[in-house]
Amino acid sequence: MDFILLSILKTAIAAPVLLGTLAYLVWIERKVLAHVQLRIGPSRVGPHGLLQPIADAIKLLTKEDFIPSYVNKFYYWLAPWLALMFAVTAISVIPIGPVVEVFGIKTNMGQADISIGLLLILGLTGMGVYGIALAGWSSNNKYSLLGGLRSSAQMIAYELPMAMAIVSPLLIVNTLNLREIVNAQAGYTFGILPNWNVLGGGLQIFSFIIYLICAFAETNRIPFDLPEAENELVSGYNTEYSSMKFAAFFMAEYCNIITACSVATTLFLGGWHPIIPNELGGQFIPTLVCVFFAGVLFYHALNPSRPSDRLSMGAIGAVILGLGLMFQVPGVKDLAQPLFWFASKAGFLIFFFIWVRGTVPRFRYDQLMRFAWLFLFPAALLNLLVTAFIVALKSN
Amino acid sequence: MDVILFTFFGLVAIVGAVSLVIQKHPISSALSLVSVMVALSVLFLLLGAEFIAAAQLVVYSGAIMVLFVFVIMLLNAGAERESRKAGLAQFLGLPLTAVLLVFASYVITQSMSNAKAVKFGAFTGGGPREVGWALFTQYLLPFEVTSILILVAIAGAVVLARKEID
């Protein structure tokens, strides 16, 4: 099939899914945060607030797009779309499954499969800082400017240990192509321990931790969300923004979280490979997980704490049960199971991001910088040296 | 398709380079330079130099130019005031630029008269593996010498910065 036609088709599938995920990630974050803090969270729009993202989208679209008179118009307009564009583009090189055959067409699950995949992600996420820095500068507001400055300084500081942490597993898998990186992590040590880079593949646990810490800083998340520290800077770089421009920054941030978690999944957690070998029952785990959640929901449908739960819990439980059975349908199986593993690994990391937000307080800015340069960078360097030494010893 | 992309990003690079010179505000100039860097990276990609393209994106537009923009914002530099142009430069500036361009293109075409035309997609040796191999075998000495030079520069920067603090 024509390459361009296939790419357009894939984009047509991936783009709505991505935007839907972004919208519902906000709902998930608010819900998880609420439960961490013993609140209920969004619950008014639809059952369990499930329609809240749609209401939010309508609100943001129809809100007045207010442009303050003192801003630098061109850059003020450019900044949010710059941030969003680079954030969305970076996702395109991430492989979410093996090469599959759908309707007789052989294709890889993922948009682009290129030899410099990882470098491209680093480059594009690095470009994303222009959006934030420009927003802060063009707003012509001291708080915004401080937010933009903090963001660029933070990005530069944390990109170094992040790159160092990425290089260590690369020494083991010996390629920059994300698909080959995942393929190198296939198989199991002693038939049970997965050959993921973080486990049996090379015990890259320190690289993984350093990468995760840096990912928090690169995506401007708590505990490193100094660019928008609301008790110091009102809302930081996006203080002067409203309507869709504000939403664009929001979407860019969530997009960056998805990218960071997907990269961690491909680099360290073995991408779409199951945690237990398929021969030992790994292929039944997706179904079992779905059946478990469906069971919990059915229980709540039969013992409702609110009258409306009887219907909503039951309906969602039935959907999840159907999803679980789908994982065993022969034709769909090869497509759905890798997706399940990739999504559950990346999804757990995203949950971890939200979890940390509900748990850890914010750093002070000097602490943030000292931590990056005096602890994280030397630690990443040491980790790289040890890994290189072991790889050199092994290859002899 | 390749030709269309090449023309587009070539134009972006040229427009960005011209805008870099004529913009009054330092931020606008810096961002014009960023657009030149990004366009160059796409051109490298079109010619099959994948690793160079990624390095261009990561190092130049992602790191060095962010530092530039950061410093400009930190110093809060305003728009430049236009200086009084020297009389000679006002009249001879553009013609001399044109002469320089013509002369340069003449020299290049003369000295490379037997070079073949570039075909898109013909060169495939630009991946990270090939570049790494070349750097560590054929160009090992220049590579190591450059590394030492950069190391000395870093040490020098640290020494100079420390002197300022004391």
- pLDDT at residue A44 in the model: 83
pLDDT (tens digit per residue) in B101-138: 899 988 888 887 777 777 777 777 778 888 888 888 88
Number of domains chain A contains: 2
Assess whether A179 and A75 both reside in one domain: yes
* Structure token digits, residue A290: 């779905």
Are A148 and B73 an interchain contact pair (Cβ–Cβ within 8 Å)? yes
DSSP B58: I
Taking residues A52-63, what's their average pLDDT?
86
- pLDDT at residue B84 in the model: 67
Report pTM.
0.85
**Residue A342 burial class via C-beta count within 10 angstroms: exposed 0-12, middle 13-18, buried 19 and up:** buried
Q: Which domain holds residue A139?
A: 63-273+329-395
- pLDDT at residue A350 in the model: 92
A319 lies in some domain: no
Which positions ≥6 away from B62 have C-beta within 8 Å?
Answer: A122, A123, A126, A127, A159
pLDDT (tens digit per residue) in A147-205: 888 888 888 888 889 988 888 888 888 888 888 888 888 777 777 777 787 776 677 88
Number of domains chain B contains: 2
A166 lies in some domain: yes
Assess whether A146 and A37 both reside in one domain: no
Task: Tell me what percent of the residues of chain A surpass a pLDDT of 70.
Answer: 99
Predicted confidence (pLDDT) at residue B153 exceeds the cutoff of 90: yes
pLDDT (tens digit per residue) in B19-43: 888 888 888 888 899 999 989 998 8
CA separation for the pair A369, A190 (Å, rounded): 43
Mutation for testing the A interface, residue in B66, B68, B74, B133 having most A CBs under 10 Å = B66
pLDDT tier at B86 (50, 70, 90 boundaries)?
Answer: low
Predicted confidence (pLDDT) at residue A135 exceeds the cutoff of 70: yes
How many CB pairs lie under 8 A apart between chains A and B?
75
Give the mean pLDDT of chain B.
Answer: 84
Q: Which domain holds residue B166?
A: 125-166
CB contacts, 8 Å: A145 with chain B: 73, 76
Assess whether A217 and A333 both reside in one domain: yes
A137 lies in some domain: yes
- pLDDT at residue B100 in the model: 92
Which positions ≥6 away from B90 have C-beta within 8 Å?
Answer: none
- pLDDT at residue A292 in the model: 87
Assess whether A259 and A353 both reside in one domain: yes
CB contacts, 8 Å: B124 with chain A: none
Task: Tell me what percent of the residues of chain A surpass a pLDDT of 90.
Answer: 5
- Closest chain A residue by Cα to residue B37: A127
A315 lies in some domain: no
pLDDT tier at B142 (50, 70, 90 boundaries)?
Answer: very high
pLDDT (tens digit per residue) in A329-371: 777 777 788 888 888 889 999 999 999 988 888 888 888 888 8
CB contacts, 8 Å: A120 with chain B: 54, 57
pLDDT (tens digit per residue) in A65-79: 888 888 888 888 888
A320 lies in some domain: no
B103 lies in some domain: no
Are A116 and B62 an interchain contact pair (Cβ–Cβ within 8 Å)? no
Q: Which of B52, B80, B108 is the last residue of a domain?
A: B80
Predicted confidence (pLDDT) at residue A1 exceeds the cutoff of 60: no
Task: Tell me what percent of the residues of chain B surpass a pLDDT of 70.
Answer: 94
Q: Which of B62, B80, B98 is the last residue of a domain?
A: B80
- pLDDT at residue B165 in the model: 64
CA separation for the pair B72, B26 (Å, rounded): 7
- pLDDT at residue A351 in the model: 92
pLDDT tier at B166 (50, 70, 90 boundaries)?
Answer: low
* Structure token digits, residue A276: 């237990």
A298 lies in some domain: no
CA separation for the pair A100, A332 (Å, rounded): 11
pLDDT (tens digit per residue) in A190-230: 777 777 877 766 778 888 899 999 998 888 887 888 777 77
The residue ranking higher by pLDDT, A108 or A131, is A131
Q: What is Dmax (Cα atoms) for chain A?
A: 68
Assess whether A13 and A121 both reside in one domain: no
Give the mean pLDDT of chain A.
Answer: 84
Strand partners, A193: A189
HEC sequence for chain A:
CCHHHHHHHHHHHHHHHHHHHHHHHHHHHHHHHHHHCCCCCCCCCCHHHCCHHHHHHHHHHHCCCCCCCCCCHHHHHHHHHHHHHHHHHHHCCCCCCCEEEECCEEEECCCCCCCCHHHHHHHHHHHHHHHHHHHHHHCCCHHHHHHHHHHHHHHHHHHHHHHHHHHHHHHHHCCCCHHHHHHHCCCEECCCEECCCCCCCCCCHHHHHHHHHHHHHHCCCCCCCHHHCHHHHCCHHHCCCCHHHHHHHHHHHHHHHHHHHHHHHHHHCCCCCCCCCHHHCHHHHHHHHHHHHHHHHHHHHHCCCCCCHHHHHHHHHHHHHHHHHHCCCHHHHHHHHHHHHHHHHHHHHHHHHHHHHHHCCCCCHHHHHHHHHHHHHHHHHHHHHHHHHHHHHHHC
Assess whether A160 and A263 both reside in one domain: yes
Question: Pick from A114, A127, A149: which is nearest to B62 by CB?
Answer: A127
Assess whether A130 and A165 both reside in one domain: yes
- pLDDT at residue B15 in the model: 92
CB contacts, 8 Å: A152 with chain B: 66, 69-70, 73
